[in-house]
Structure 1
Amino acid sequence: MTARNTDIEKAAGVLRAGGLVALPTETVYGLGANAEDPAAVSRIFEVKGRPPTHPLIVHIGGAEQLDDWVAEVPATARLLARHFWPGPLTLVLRRAPRVPLEATGGLETVAVRVPDHPLALELLSSFGGGITAPSANRFGSVSPTTADDVLAELGDAVDFVLDGGPCQVGVESTIVDVTGDVPAVLRPGGVTRENLEAVLGYPPEVPSASGVRVPGQHPSHYAPRARVVLVEPGQVIADAELAQERGHRVGVLLPPSLADAPVKAHAVVPVPQSMAAYARGLYGYLRRLDQRGCDLVVASLPPEEGLGLAIANRLRRAAGPRTPA
């Protein structure tokens, strides 16, 4: 048996025993538990410090398993699953009895997806069940995109870390509610609105507020230790340098339009022109600025189209109001 197969079998054994496994996906690393074990699911909330009313995503091994986890599957859900699974798309549907309320935050809906990572799919196959897996980090902080990120933040609170290398998408999945007449995007992510419209033949709804609780809706989320301030692209350098002069240790996410401009700041991270590269690197950039000792991050929003919409969503949450310690 290869080392890879040994790791898969060990991880599957940990899940069967009610333990927690950090597993790689194409989006971010997840903190996984047996989706049908209420005690194991509850431990996820304890380790993360996550409010128990915030639902989790159930990861399954293939679209053919969807009927096992939800009460009914509308034609639209099957269409989207056929086109985007495995991949960074989560569907919200009515839960089947096998899904415990601990996994849904007490809701009668469940969020389900099929991850697009070979190790995650091998683990799901070996384990033979569903895995609830929110991001493997403390609630509200920057999501992990490497196994080292998980270990640095959660340490031995995780029973086993399955190292699958860096995540290739880098931001969480798109969440689409398909319980109504028209699919509604509840969280932008790795599948874009444009991707969805091309398959549906019409634009999905993007409600300003949703009655369905889903991951990533907390006002402050995906946040580094440093405070994040969002400004217009043309103001990034001036605002960063002013804050530096006032005594802050400033980190800058420098937009592509200013790539060659000098900046007087504590640390500078040039942002890629490619939105796919930016999404893949975003959480790593925020972690790097924390590691450099920055107490303030100055950034601007990218154009909100394609993956830029998901990046802008994460930056707004990172800059959101924080609950005092």
Structure 2
Amino acid sequence: MLLDGLLASAIDAAAARLADGELVAFPTETVYGLGARADRADAVAKIFAAKGRPSDHPLIVHVTGPAQIDVFASAVPPVARRLIDAFWPGPLTLILPRRADIAEAAAGGQDSIGLRCPSHPVAKALLQAAERLGVPGVAAPSANRFGRVSPTLAAHVVEEFGADLLVLDGGATEVGIESAIVDCSRGHPVLLRPGTLTRAQIEAAAGEPLGAPDADAPRAPGTLAAHYAPNARLRLMSSAMLHTALQVLGDEPLKLAVYSRGAPPAAARGVRYRRMPAQAAQVAHELFSVLRELDAEGAQLIWVETPPPESEWDGVRDRLTRAAAA
């Protein structure tokens, strides 16, 4: 994406707002983020207030590149360096030991910090412009109310927060779901949240297996049991269960939507239907947008076909499982 003069001017204005401790929404390759400078607790507090997010639920700090890591992290283990070399800039967040003198509010009070270097050209330009104004990194969760569906278009952000928030429009996000999160703060890498990078890809770059989260794992964004939820009640169903349920629907009109890989049977006429793509990356790209569209169409129930068990579907399955638990 080439940055035209109008967008470049908007980026400069957004960077100035960040430097002044104000909020700005901006696109990344994953979802749109709601950002504030990570080194000021008063600025970070505005994120928590706007989202209705608990202040002990940590944020991810977005940086321009590896050179900014030492501003926030007290140590960078070799495995973290290997992952940075393989996947930055890109959809991978690393949890590292936090320097005691910075970003405590952004870290939710923990002694670890989540860092990511986004690849979206608008995000990169914004972070670089903010850095020139003295902003070492931008804390930015997804730009939506806490626990709800993440935004993948600038219009989604405006729907959430209104027109007073400065929103940089970078078009539809490419990836569509949030980054994978790997904890590198405790000696052995642990996958805390799946994304579109597969476990096999991350393990190959890390040079060692990824552990599973345990009771001592740091808190991480997007890992609560209920999250990413539309207004409609979402239910995950196997293909067979979904087919049977649709066959036994009565004549009573239902505000029901179906998102599945197979077409609904003839008995399900009148049900809103969206076909799920066959590829995991395509589903990740459109998932949150589809859920928002079905909400806007008035669906009160959304039945979703459970994704396949293969690892490339882990990120999509994680988001849908949490959405169904809300």
TM-score by length of 1: 0.93
Shift of 1:240: 4.0
Residue pairs, 1:145-160, within 5 angstroms: 145-156=152-163, 158=165, 160=166
Residues 127-146 of structure 1: pairs in structure 2 closer than 5 A: 127-128=130-131, 129-146=136-153
Query: Which stretch shifts more, 178-187 or 40-49?
Result: 178-187
Check whether the contact 2:100–2:111 (CA below 8 A) recurs between aligned residues: no
Give 1:203 shift.
2.4
Deviation of residue 13 (structure 1)? Answer: 0.8
- In structure 2, give the amino acid aligned to 1:164: G
Output one character per residue of 1:149-185: Cα deviation in whole Å (capped at 9) or x when no partner: 0001111462x10000100000000000001232000
Aligned partners of 1:249 and 1:265 also within 8 Å: no
- How far did 1:260 drift? 7.2
Who is 1:289 aligned against?
A: 294
> Equivalent of 2:230, from 209, 224, 243?
224
- Give the match's secondary structure for 2:128: helix
Counterpart CA distance in 1 for 2:243 and 2:210 is 37
Looking at structure 2, the residues matched to 50 and 242 of structure 1 have their Cα atoms a distance apart, in angstroms, of 40
Q: Paired residue for 1:92, among 79, 83, 95?
A: 95
Q: How far did residue 85 of structure 1 move?
A: 0.2
Take 2:301 and 2:264, find their aligned partners in 1: how far apart are those partners?
A: 22
Mapping of 1:214-293 within 5 angstroms? 214-240=220-246, 242=248, 245=251, 248-255=254-261, 258-259=262-263, 261-262=265-266, 263-293=268-298
Question: Take 2:61 and 2:304, find their aligned partners in 1: how far apart are those partners?
Answer: 33
Query: 1:267 is matched by which residue type in structure 2?
Result: R
Indicate conservation of the 8 Å contact 2:58/2:220, yes or no.
yes
- Are 2:304 and 1:299 aligned? yes
> Residue 62 of structure 1 aligns with which residue?
65
Aligned partner letter, 2:76:
V
**Structure 2: distance between partners of 1:300 and 1:139:** 25
Residue ranges of structure 1 left out of the alignment (5+ in a row)? none
Contact 2:80 2:206 in 1 (8 A): no
Q: CA deviation at 1:306?
A: 3.5
1:105 corresponds to which of 103, 108, 116 = 108
Moved more, 176-185 or 126-135: 176-185
1:170 maps to what in 2?
A: 176
CA-CA distance at 1:99 after TM superposition = 2.6
Corresponding residue to 1:44 among 42, 47, 53 = 47
- Segments of 5+ residues of structure 2 without an aligned counterpart are none
Equivalent residues, number:
318
Q: Distance in 2 between matches of 1:87 and 1:225?
A: 30
Give yes or no for the alignment of 1:311 onto 2:291: no
- Aligned letter for 1:29? Y
Q: Matches of 2:28 and 2:144 in 1, distance apart?
A: 14
Q: Kindly tell me: are residues 231 and 167 of structure 1, through their superposed partners in 2, closer, same or farther at Cα, counting changes over 3 Å? A: same
**2: CA distance, partners of 1:6 / 1:276:** 33
Shift, 1:102, TM fit: 1.1
* Counterpart secondary structure, 2:106: helix
Contact 1:26 1:167 survives alignment (8 Å)? yes
| Post-superposition offset of 1:33 | 0.3
TM-score, normalised with respect to structure 2:
0.93
Residue 208 of structure 1 and its aligned partner are, at CA, apart by 6.0
Amino acid at match of 1:194: A
Whole-angstrom distance in 2 between the partners of 1:247 and 1:211: 46
Q: Deviations over 1:250-277 (max 9, x none)?
A: 110112xx24754434311100001111
1:233 CA displacement: 1.7
Q: State which drifts further: 207-216 or 267-276.
A: 207-216
